[in-house]
Amino acid sequence: MAVTGTIFALFVLVHMIGNLKAFMGPGEYNSYAAFLRTLLHPLVPYEGVLWILRIVLLACLVAHVWSGITIWARGRRSRGPHRRQRMGTLTWGARTMLLSGILLLAFVVVHILDLTIGAGVASSGYQPPVRTGAAEVDVHAYQNLVASLSRPPMAIFYSLIMLIIGVHLAQGAWNVINDFGGTGARLRRVWLLIGILIALAIVVGNGALPMLVLAGVIS
């Protein structure tokens, strides 16, 4: 669970950095989306790298969810009929890791349907990428992003999920240092600080997008 969680944290961080190109306008954002689809072409097929990443992330998702359910069930079974006293108070993030994980899983599904597939809850007027040449593609990722986040319910949902991701990542970072056997006090403090800073960067970087779209700053 610690390994797959670390992979997801790095992915979300890189994804957030890519999303910052939306602040630079449609040209930069769409060029970035096209670059991802033609990355390493013709060494790999069109969208080959994207599909490799999707398969790796899907495998990590299955492993992460399975690990989470296994750990939760194991903890429930080991409690016995009597709850042990004086165990210390868990943080709010620790108590809600399972719930926040379920909400993030739901968000992944909604996000894929809305912006990747363009079906189900997709914004009206969704424009899929169109391959125009061997290494060229016409994408409308910026327009689709704006159309999606222009809907207040989706924008609010997106912003709230970013807060949940922040809490989940910060708590996950603390769990990771324990799971990997980090025992030094300085190492644990530094790792916790890094986890909190990454979580805050993701909350602010991604969470600002829907609010700025609603305000008309990004349009």
Window from 42-46, 84-88, 90-94, 215-219 with minimum mean pLDDT: 84-88
**Cα 36 vs. chain centroid, distance in angstroms?**
17
User: pLDDT per residue over 78-106, tens digit each?
Assistant: 776 666 665 555 677 777 888 888 999 99
Predicted pLDDT of residue 17? 93
Q: What does the block give as tokens for 79?
A: 């409690």
- Delimit the domains of the chain by residue range: 2-75+93-215
CATH class for domain 2-75+93-215?
mainly alpha
Mean pLDDT, residues 1-27: 92
145 burial (CB, 10 Å; 0-12 / 13-18 / 19+) is buried
**Cα 4 vs. chain centroid, distance in angstroms?**
13
Instruction: State what percent of residues in the chain have pLDDT above 90.
Output: 38
Mean pLDDT, residues 65-75: 87
For residues 39 and 21, give the distance between their C-alpha atoms in angstroms, rounded to a whole number.
17
For residues 173 and 101, give the distance between their C-alpha atoms in angstroms, rounded to a whole number.
14
Instruction: Return the DSSP state at 216.
Output: T
Amino acid (1-letter code) at residue 213? V
Mean pLDDT, residues 38-57: 90
For residues 27 and 42, give the distance between their C-alpha atoms in angstroms, rounded to a whole number.
24
Residue 39 CA: distances (Å) to CA of 49, 75, 104, 135: 6, 44, 28, 9
pLDDT value at 122 more than 60: no
Window from 39-53, 96-110, 156-170, 174-188 with minimum mean pLDDT: 174-188
**Cα 213 vs. chain centroid, distance in angstroms?**
19
pLDDT value at 121 more than 80: no
Mean pLDDT, residues 39-44: 86
* Nearest Cα residue to 33 out of 156, 110, 141: 141
Predicted pLDDT of residue 84? 61
Contact 154, 113 (CB under 8 A): no
Predicted pLDDT of residue 127? 79
Predicted pLDDT of residue 140? 85
Mean pLDDT, residues 209-219: 89
